[in-house]
A and B are shown apart, each in its own frame.
Chain A
Amino acid sequence: MRIPCTFMAPTVMTRIVTLLLSCLLAWLPVAASAQEDNGQALLEALDVRAFSEKAAAIEDVIESQDPRANAWLEALLDGKLQRLKDDGSFVIVTDNVGRQWPVEDALSGESLGEVSRRDLDRITINNALRGQLRSALSMIDLFAESREARQAAAQKLIGKVDAELSETLERRLESEEDDQVRRRLEQAMAVYRLEQGDVQAVERLTGSLNSDIRVALTRASQSDDAAVADAAQRALVSIEQQLKLNRGLETLYFGLSLGSVLVLAAIGLAITFGVMGVINMAHGELIMLGAYTTWAMQQLLPGQPGLAVILSIPAGFLVAALAGIAIERSVIQFLKGRPLETLLATFGVSLILQQLVRTVISPLNRTVVTPEWMSGSLVINDALSLTLNRLYVLGFALVVFAGLMLVMRRTRLGLEVRAVTQNRAMARAMGIRATRVDILTFALGSGVAGLAGVALAQLTNVGPNLGQSYIIDSFMVVVFGGVGNLWGTLVAGMSLGIINQVLEPWAGAVLAKILVLVFIILFIQKRPRGLFPQKGRAAEG
């Protein structure tokens, strides 16, 4: 709420006073009616013949600081500010489709029901006024209470400032105290001054990534004034460099994001493949189960997508781990030491799981709702913003990785797993129950696949083919990184993600993927044991 009679004062003190006053005024019917009268007068002034008078009236409305001014001017711009023919009262048409239009009182905001369009008179405007209104509207937002609104308004003004507006802006600058808003206002002013041929203005614009500023600078670089053109050109070059840097950072971010997905998908495999020498082709389907767990959780907890996602982290792990144990007990334990047969059998399991989901749930994709705290993006600057869900998945991947490292390095299970990996017979002789270790390892690897599924559900649709599309990539990551080496998997996943994203802009998504595959195929010829080869039993693939 703002008060019509006081011009916005720059100090905090006045703000508080203003606030208090506005509260008071709201409770005082007398004051309210006084405001109404004033509003009526302002609107009356708008309904005149001459457009020049209308322009002045619009200025008056803006200067009035009336809280309803924004709504009036917007309605005027859209041709929705009209007068009832019978009593001449001002109304705003809320929906001008059909014959009967719902209207509300322009002064009180009360709904007046539907009125036939014939009973209304429109307050007309011309193109010049439209322009004036648009900049006026953005001006009004400059006075808005919220910082974001003022920032957005200031940003919109860049490149649209004219002589008249510049004076208002100068005044606004004096009173504005937020740095971000000030910066944008100054940029807007600088663009105006640049257009006027002021070389100094270029300095203010150097380094900005705003696209309107770049347009202005480009125009200025073609100016007749050699000094201006030269300065603008130099500014453009530096901006271009910054943009390149930002684009590089963005590619890196997307690469890391893709990499984190690859790492999540592959790390469970790195455990089952690397530690146990088991080729689990159903790994992708375990990921899929994790993703479906997230979906199911959200069905169970309608309206609380965030809680559901958090709960599905342990649930997804559990579901996939149990499925993993079932696979290990029913199939893999009978195929010890026959990796190729294991590969075939688990592939069969993957087909069954896929078809099971298709039959029981649906062959169609399911969408998992992204909780509010995970949507949106983190804005770094005008050219770079990081999507939050990817950021979360990246963090999640690192946490899962660190967790696994801890399990392998610091727990009894990790110790036993490493012992069994290095020398099964010896580990047995020392009293380690190798079968139990196998089950637990497989459950761990599968559970991590489930976690990958929970994370993936935030990035893609959940469908029966979800796992299939990741299995080859996962194997590539594990083989590239060096079987049985978790660090290798991390490095391989991240670097493959980045390579893919770097290639994509000039090769296209599909070709980039093909190139990465060919690269790995060739790489394996050079280093058959991957980036970080492991020594020991599992290495004898």
Chain B
Amino acid sequence: MHWLGRPFQERSTQRFLGILIVALAVVTVLNLALPAGHPLHVSTYTVTLLGKYLSYALLAVAVDLVWGYLGILSLGHGAFFALGGYAMGMYLMRQIGDRGVYGHPVLPDFMVFLNWDSLPWYWQGFDMAWFAFAMVLLAPGVLALVFGFLAFRSRVTGVYLSIITQALTFALMLAFFRNEMGFGGNNGLTDFKELLGFNLRSDVTRVGLFIASGVALALGYIVCRAIVGSKLGRVCIASRDAEARTRFLGYRVERVQLFVFVVSAMLAGVAGALYVPQVGIINPSEFSPLFSIEIVVWVALGGRATLYGAVIGAILVNYAKTVFTGVMPEAWLFALGGLFVLVTVLLPKGIAGLLAWRFKRSESSGPGHGDLTAGEATT
């Protein structure tokens, strides 16, 4: 497993993990150790908000893996996120047991409401945590595998792929809106009570979920870095820039793409699974094409093909969204739309590009780190 250990030797990864761990620790301490009235106290509401940002950051890292390194602009990653979320939501629904409004021992409220008399087959097993958590990975993974297998085999790439990934998430959204699908239709899954026996409303659980999101982000980041830093990562970049040439060297590009796409979809699924218990609901709007394309702009703002840029972008945009929708909701879409235009036209390398430029100027004599300054190592 030396390839998984490689990221720990990279300066950029060390720096990223350091910042993340310190941030997690500080927020946790400020929430738990300080009394509510203290000026430095971080409210549980804020902790949950930050936890949500962290799960979004993981999602953005997953998108950056395929877009930044593989050159596949997926406009349907929201679908994988939502599938992971639904898997978690189904587990949480089953955990409610007979404490629902209708008090049915097995059936979730919405099924009782729709006069269903038994649990559909695909809801079986979700009362077991291990099964549900496996589904968090498998549901998006299998979808990505089937979809990617078909798409990459027939060499659907570029814009075409983007458009059909968008169609995929759109079709899923329409499907999940239907009550007959058995996923709560329009309203989705909500009214969760507890996760692994922990009350979801308690402060400690919320802090725990926040930390779990941070850890998941760290692990996801390391996995991505390990892939990107390996020879496989270089094959990804090669196929991104000259697919035919890479194929000619003897690499089965479609399999490389499939592998990375599936890994990315699973990471997105994990992000969705962490997101759901923190916001307390999952509904078909997570499948909306708008959400999927929004993820892409987080990555674009942060900077493609850097991974940490995706994290910065996700947190910044979502923080801005929180602020905007609180202060002047109608301006949010203007800001988001403007962001799309400005980033693509004026800032093609994103914030990470700006940072790298600064670093190059300030420490141009130091040894390179990551792939940003690899060219300087000996020159």
Residues of A with Cβ closer than 8 Å to B?
A: 279, 331, 334-335, 339-345, 347-352, 354-356, 358-359, 472, 475-476, 479, 510-511, 513-514, 517-518, 520-522, 524-526, 528, 541
CA A349 to CA B293, docked complex, whole Å: 13
Q: Counting CB contacts under 8 A, is B336 at the interface?
A: yes
Q: Counting CB contacts under 8 A, is B367 at the interface?
A: no
Tell me which of A331, A343, A522 contacts B159 (CB under 8 A): A343
Which A residue's beta carbon lies closest to that of B73? A340
Which B residue's beta carbon lies closest to that of A475? B163
Q: Counting CB contacts under 8 A, is B139 at the interface?
A: no
CA A329 to CA B327, docked complex, whole Å: 33
Chain B residues with Cβ below 8 Å from A517 are 167-168, 170-171, 174
Chain B residues with Cβ below 8 Å from A351 are 333-334, 336-337, 340
Which A residue's beta carbon lies closest to that of B330? A359
Not counting A356-B334, A514-B174, A517-B167, a sample of 13 additional A-B residue pairs whose C-beta atoms are within 8 angstroms of each other reads: A335-B344, A344-B340, A345-B341, A345-B345, A348-B297, A348-B341, A475-B163, A479-B163, A510-B175, A510-B177, A521-B168, A521-B171, A528-B156
Q: Counting CB contacts under 8 A, is B272 at the interface?
A: no
Chain A residues with Cβ below 8 Å from B150 are 521-522, 525
List 7 A-B residue pairs with CB atoms under 8 Å apart, sorted by A's residue number. A279-B159, A335-B345, A339-B159, A347-B337, A349-B337, A510-B175, A541-B157
Q: List residues of B (332-349) whose CB comes within 8 Å of A's CBs.
A: 333-334, 336-341, 343-345, 348
**CB <8 Å contact, A525 and B171:** no
Q: Counting CB contacts under 8 A, is B164 at the interface?
A: yes
**CB <8 Å contact, A339 and B158:** yes
Mask, B296-313, CB within 8 Å of A = 1, is 110010000000000000
Chain B residues with Cβ below 8 Å from A514 are 171, 174-175
**CB <8 Å contact, A344 and B334:** no
Q: Counting CB contacts under 8 A, is B155 at the interface?
A: yes
CB-CB under 8 A for A525 and B337, given A359-B330, A475-B163, A511-B178: no
Chain A residues with Cβ below 8 Å from B344 are 335, 341-342, 344-345, 348
Chain B residues with Cβ below 8 Å from A349 are 337, 340-341
Q: Counting CB contacts under 8 A, is B162 at the interface?
A: yes
Which A residue's beta carbon lies closest to that of B178? A510
Chain A residues with Cβ below 8 Å from B336 are 348, 351
Chain A residues with Cβ below 8 Å from B337 are 347-352, 355
Q: Counting CB contacts under 8 A, is B154 at the interface?
A: yes
* B327 to A: closest C-beta gap in Å: 16
Chain A residues with Cβ below 8 Å from B300 are 344
- In the A-B complex, the 6 residue pairs with the smallest Cβ-Cβ separation, listed nearest first, are A348-B340, A351-B337, A352-B337, A355-B333, A517-B171, A345-B344
Mask, B272-291, CB within 8 Å of A = 1, is 00000000000000000100
Q: List residues of B (168-211) whose CB comes within 8 Å of A's CBs.
A: 168, 170-171, 174-175, 177-178
CB-CB under 8 A for A524 and B164, given A341-B348, A355-B333, A514-B171: yes
Chain A residues with Cβ below 8 Å from B174 are 510, 513-514, 517
Q: Counting CB contacts under 8 A, is B247 at the interface?
A: no
Which B residue's beta carbon lies closest to that of A509? B174
Chain B residues with Cβ below 8 Å from A345 are 340-341, 344-345
**CB <8 Å contact, A520 and B167:** yes
* A520 to B: closest C-beta gap in Å: 7
* B317 to A: closest C-beta gap in Å: 12
Which A residue's beta carbon lies closest to that of B346? A334
* A140 to B: closest C-beta gap in Å: 52
CB-CB under 8 A for A525 and B153, given A331-B341, A352-B334, A476-B167: yes
CA A233 to CA B123, docked complex, whole Å: 50
* B247 to A: closest C-beta gap in Å: 15
Which A residue's beta carbon lies closest to that of B168? A521
* A278 to B: closest C-beta gap in Å: 10
**CB <8 Å contact, B339 and A472:** no
